[in-house]
Amino acid sequence: MKIVVALKQVPSRDSALRVPPGESWIDESDLTYEINEPDAYALEAGLQLKEQHGGEVIVVCAGPEGAASSIREALAKGADRAVHIEDDSLHQADSLGLGTLLAAAIRAEAPDLVLTGLQSDDLGSGQTGVVVAELLGLPSATIIMAVEVIDGAIRVKRELEDGWFQHVTLPLPAVLTIQSGINKLRYATLMGIKKAKTKELRAVSAEDLGGVPAAQVVCEKVYLPGRGKQTQLLEGDAKTAATALADKLKFEVRVI
């Protein structure tokens, strides 16, 4: 199988986020970065399918020059080669713009299966995978918990709400967005890190793929959540006040 995994580099979860006054994005000057966690599970799913059925795993990543470190980590874990869509302004692109670039790079590979994470840890829109599927004209399924290859097709297990699951069979090629936690992530071995240095990492520009479409969704302002205290006096007898308190905890504060 020829499997493409779309990977994104995001700020580390323990990074201290600062927002400059009047800015539409966070200050990136001293952030540390890592592979987007849902994408790491997509990579693991791809590597396991390769181990079961043979073939190759190709990583496609759109991001600035620094994203190459996360790409090398994916290669060290077992991916065979990578394509880096290198552009320093992609944080301004919306899901359609990013999906258009990824789709152009993936189309040239003509894979049997495309895997992405369910969503990114920084923006969390959950749209890029399905946008790529639509642009490629491929069937897709989201929130995937398990993948099984059967006679030129795939059978997947989707997570629904309230503990329900759905089993769906899709023809290949197809696009899947992978849920976090479906498998145990592997670590890069010392041998894998050494091999990654010799694996192909091909850099292309956004212009090589037709350019970034104008954003249809624009982030105008980023700000830290405000903090404040408020006191409310609930009137009435004990039963009335208790009912009102329960309603506020459930519907306003949302802690019960």
Measure the CA–CA gap between 200 and 220, rounded to whole angstroms: 38
Identify the pLDDT of residue 115: 97
Residue 36 placed within a domain: yes
Residue 240 placed within a domain: no
Residue 180 placed within a domain: yes
Residue 227 placed within a domain: no
Residue 245 placed within a domain: no
Residue 236 placed within a domain: no
Q: How many domains does the chain have?
A: 1
Residue 246 placed within a domain: no
Residue 93 placed within a domain: yes
In 3D, which of 110, 114, 176, 171 has the Cα closest to residue 146? 176
Tens place of pLDDT per residue across the chain (256 aa):
999 999 999 988 888 888 887 777 778 778 889 999 999 999 999 999 999 999 999 999 999 999 999 999 999 999 999 999 998 888 778 899 999 999 999 999 999 999 999 998 888 888 999 999 999 999 999 999 999 999 889 999 999 888 899 999 999 999 999 999 889 999 999 999 999 999 999 999 989 998 888 888 888 888 877 777 778 888 889 999 899 999 888 888 777 8
Identify the pLDDT of residue 176: 97
Identify the pLDDT of residue 146: 94
Q: Is 150 left (phi over 0), alpha (psi -120 to 50) or beta?
A: beta
Provide the domain limits for residue 6: 2-209
Q: How, if at all, do strands 33-35 and 9-11 pair?
A: antiparallel
Identify the pLDDT of residue 100: 94
Contact yes or no for 64/144 (Cβ under 8 A): no
Measure the CA–CA gap between 251 and 253, rounded to whole angstroms: 6
Identify the pLDDT of residue 121: 87
CA–CA distances in Å: residue 129 to residues 38, 86, 99? 12, 19, 7
Identify the pLDDT of residue 37: 94
Q: In the Cβ-directed half-sphere of 24, how many Cα atoms lie within 13 Å?
A: 8
Q: Which residues, in sequence order, are bridge partners of residue 10?
A: 34
CATH number of residue 181's parent domain: 3.40.50.620
